[in-house]
Structure 1
């Protein structure tokens, strides 16, 4: 699959809320290769952010459970 086909496929399969951002990014990037690389980098960052959010929520739940246990003991 050619890079230009991949770039067009990304834009075609985008959600309506992502479409404007992707079209802007495609306009800013000077080539299809740069556009595809930027999208892949964004996807990697998005996965990291999701993992960080889940970890944060887990620690938050752990803190709430610990606080509840301390309250019950007192």
Structure 2
């Protein structure tokens, strides 16, 4: 079993500028089939505030949707 994926993004050095990233992964666990093995994510950051979303399929519990918000204060 294994997990593989790709991440593509625009990541500027200046934290005040817009940055974005897209993530795609696949879990090769033989118990997972079709969309259950798919993993997708996206994130966006601007002016020290980041919002991330992640989707992960699962055979036992159904799909998981995770959302995160971060505020980075004083990082200049």
TM-score bucket (shorter structure):
under 0.3
**Who wins on radius of gyration, i.e. which is larger?**
1
User: Relative contact order (alpha carbons < 8 A, sep ≥ 6): 1 or 2 greater?
Assistant: 1
> What's the TM-score once normalised by structure 2's chain length?
0.20
Using structure 1 for the length normalisation, give the TM-score: 0.20
Going by fraction, where is strand more abundant, 1 or 2? 2
Higher helix share goes to which structure?
A: 1
